[in-house]
């Protein structure tokens, strides 16, 4: 928590809004996506999805393959409590939807399904999209699958396996958008990134959640943006976003959202 607090103070000092961005690509992304105030009808579906989860009093046994929870003790957790305390927040869920919508991403990969809040946003972002989402915990994957089916989101395939297992079976498939939200270990996150270098193309985007979760996550983020294949990186504090556009000079931006 101390690391996060110190990092946030530094972030605020360095961050810019659209007026401090000297890149047409990033300026358009900030003004047309990050700051987009459109009230998309899909937001109502996302709201209903969240509301339904918050009303679910059932308890499930969760197996955590990541760094564990800072909120919960033990493995028995209520669906409503997980949604409220550990689920993706409304603002970020809408932003994830807008990112998929803005880039018109079709082949999407989500690492860390949880209860499907991010999955639903990605599913709705483009009618031509197909979302592969990976969840290691069988009980969590089952609940997410039931809710996604209940909301008739059919363009989704839940892979109930560990990240390592999934990557070993899909080492060559190309993805337009990859969202990593399921393991807050810096060394493993860096390993996922290196594996995904085989899965990206010139217009791919990778989004990393919680880049300031711990010191080792921040160190992994710094190594990721220094990689020669990353030409553009954006730090929004909670998320780190990287691009591989060869026509883009290597730049890094710290953007307030």
- pLDDT tens digit sequence for 123-139: 999 999 999 999 999 99
Q: Residue 227: its pLDDT value, please? A: 98
Q: Residue 21: its pLDDT value, please? A: 80
pTM above 0.75, yes or no: yes
Decide: 32 and 102 in contact? Cβ < 8 Å: yes
Beta-bridge mates of residue 211 = none
CATH assignment of 2-54+88-254, among 3.30.230.10, 3.90.226.10, 3.40.50.150, 3.40.50.10490 = 3.40.50.150
Q: Residue 73: its pLDDT value, please? A: 58
Q: Residue 246: its pLDDT value, please? A: 96
Q: Residue 171: its pLDDT value, please? A: 86
Q: Low-confidence residues of the chain, pLDDT below 50?
A: 68, 70, 72
């Amino acid at each position: 928590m101390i690391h996060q607090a110190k990092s946030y103070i530094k972030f605020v000092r360095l961050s810019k809004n659209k007026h401090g961005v000297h890149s047409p690509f990033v300026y358009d992304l900030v003004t047309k996506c990050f700051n987009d105030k459109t009230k998309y009808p899909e937001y109502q579906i996302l709201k209903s999805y969240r509301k339904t989860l918050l009303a679910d009093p059932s308890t499930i046994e969760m197996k955590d393959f990541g760094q564990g929870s800072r909120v919960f003790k033990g493995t028995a957790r209520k669906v409503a409590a997980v949604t409220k305390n550990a689920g993706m927040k409304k603002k970020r869920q809408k932003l994830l939807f807008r990112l998929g919508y803005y880039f018109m991403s079709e082949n999407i990969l989500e690492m860390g399904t949880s209860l499907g809040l991010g999955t639903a946003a990605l599913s709705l972002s483009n009618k031509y999209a197909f979302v592969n989402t990976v969840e290691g915990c069988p009980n969590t994957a089952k609940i997410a699958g039931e809710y996604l089916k209940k909301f008739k989101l059919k363009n989704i395939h839940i892979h109930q396996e560990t990240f390592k297992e999934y990557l070993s079976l899909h080492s060559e498939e190309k993805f337009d958008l990859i969202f990593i939200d399921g393991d807050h270990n810096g060394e493993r996150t860096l390993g996922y990134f290196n594996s995904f270098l085989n899965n990206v193309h010139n217009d791919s985007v990778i989004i990393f959640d919680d880049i300031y979760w711990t010191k080792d996550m921040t160190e992994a983020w710094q190594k990721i943006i220094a990689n020669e294949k990353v030409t553009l990186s954006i730090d929004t504090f909670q998320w780190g976003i990287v691009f591989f556009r060869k026509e883009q000079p290597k730049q890094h931006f710290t953007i307030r959202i």
